[in-house]
Structure 1
């Protein structure tokens, strides 16, 4: 599409080519796939434990009386799987009910599925407040003490509040902790300056989840080695998600990501290119180098 008389050519969102686009599964995804294999609830052992993330009992459970008073927070309590029964309350096909216990109180979860259906589907119930402690302990044994390279500057403090971090830097994993309903795992780490923070993730591969995954947050390899041509001063800006005049388009993209809109503006001295981000930031390039910007 060409604009008339404005001297500006505008496009919608442009996705620039990504360097080093991997055709095969990443080592990080392969790691998750090797150690965290989805299993149906028919393979659960009696005694399997789950960390509970909500304050109140989820509507998906039926509580046997007596149960916890409404004034008691359930967050942080451990629910234990005690087995299953088959019931047909209306005389129909028998359906499986999963049984749990917490501090002596008993709870039921109706699967509305037969044992054959559960086995065929490798069915695992969706219970948002539950975090599988087997998975959490496995992640802790594999990652605690390990040095990884973090890909995101979106970090969280001990209170769960978002803070500005750095990306593409080494961090040492200090612990693996329970997360929240959506992202069940918190990776708590220390950066190369001694700052401690956390990020939240799932334990699914990126191919199986739209949420934040290990592959999207961390790299086993030092990303700096892929960009040896970038000067240290520019690299420091990239780790802080910042830019400075003189940086190349590739360096700016590595720092801020792909722009949401690109405009090419003819001028008397040549072609000027503007990158626009939905955040309100914009960059101007001349001859491929950053000349002006607002973040």
Structure 2
């Protein structure tokens, strides 16, 4: 949908600004990312949400105890294990047993990590380093697994908590993406292992009635990837975001919740609705200052003097 309301002179400028915006909208929420230099220089404020799960990180090998659990995200893990071992299925759990020194084919010192599989057999993962070196590392990554101690820690802090969801990219019970609402109250009802990219799955209930499902999930990063665009602070707020924007009208806030924009919205309102653009072009005319925001999903917004004048969504 393309919407445009402005004067003939601005229409000419807008036509130039919009000329390269030709792709179609896919309905997927934009990942928060800005390439514009001025916007990227804004001071970053560390919030309570940023700090809440900052200490949830993988354990170093020196702290592993027998029985430590790892969730298998993909049956391809068999390609990373030593030949002749059990082939753990996706969704199964490995339990750490011990480590042992072995000699590599070149005569070097390697270490094997030994796990018990769900079927009762052994699964062995070899690392090209000796145990003393591994003990100095901050973490050890076992391919295609999620360290369950991190999931357990997130679960203990989130289940039962009332939050406000910040993203409209939700998932149903079988993992299919769906369009949800943002900045609405939710209650966390479950935390489970996620997938190879985002290790934690957070399931919540809503009270928005027919506008969205009763329950939905989001996938979240933790640990080394906790700075990403899908960390806790990017997905949830402790307090109602509406309270921070008293100047936004109820009509525009309703649009923001549904991820929509309208002519005459401000740049801040549009950013709340759609996320930050992937690129910003600026144009200085004789009577107006123009900007064109483009998104990876084909949406573009055209502003004059900071007010939305034309868009495609």
- Larger helix share, 1 or 2: 2
Distance 1:167 1:128 in 2: 33
Picking from 283, 293, 313, the partner of 1:264 is 283
Residues 1-295 of structure 1 correspond to what in structure 2 (within 5 A)? 14=36, 17=39, 21-23=43-45, 25-34=46-55, 36-64=56-84, 67=86, 74-89=89-104, 92-102=107-117, 103-124=119-140, 126-193=141-208, 195=213, 196-204=215-223, 209-210=227-228, 212-259=230-277, 260-264=279-283, 266=285, 270-271=287-288, 273-278=290-295, 279-286=297-304, 288-295=306-313
Compared CA separation, residues 132 and 100, structure 1 to 2 (3 A)? same
4+ residue stretches of structure 1 with deviation over 6 A?
6-10
Q: Deviations over 1:202-237 (max 9, x none)?
A: 22266x654622222222232212111111111111
Q: Distance between the aligned counterparts of 1:274 and 1:122, measured in 2? A: 45
SS in 1 for 2:51: helix
CA change 1:222–1:15 in 2 (3 A) is farther
Q: Measure the CA separation in 2 of the matches of 1:19 and 1:230.
A: 25
**Cα separation, partners in 2 of 1:272 and 1:37, compared to 1, 3 Å:** closer
1:57-108: CA deviation from partner (whole Å, max 9, x where unpaired): 431111546x45xxxx701111111111112255845432110111211111
Aligned partners of 1:96, 1:43: CA distance in 2, in Å? 16
TM-score by length of 1: 0.82
Long gaps (5+) in structure 1: 1-5
Query: Counterpart in 1 of 2:23?
Result: none
Maintained 8 Å contact 1:274/1:282? no
Q: Distance in 2 between matches of 1:185 and 1:165?
A: 19
> What's the CA shift for 1:287?
5.0
Q: Distance in 2 between matches of 1:191 and 1:18?
A: 34
- Number of equivalences: 279
| Residue-by-residue CA offset, 1:127-155 (whole Å, 9 max, x unaligned) | 23212222212211211111122221111
Partner of 2:25 in structure 1?
none
| CA RMSD of superposed structures (Å) | 3.1
**Structure 1 residue 56 displacement after superposition:** 4.3
CA distance in 1, matches of 2:71, 2:221: 15
**1:274 deviation in Å?**
4.5
Instruction: Give the match's secondary structure for 1:62.
Output: coil
Q: Structure 2-normalised TM-score?
A: 0.78
Cα deviation code 1:30-49 (max 9, x no counterpart): 22123x14321121100111
Alpha-carbon distance change, 246 to 210 in structure 1, aligned in 2, over 3 angstroms: closer
CA distance in 2, matches of 1:187, 1:7: 45
Please give the secondary structure, in 2, of the residue aligned with 1:120. Answer: coil
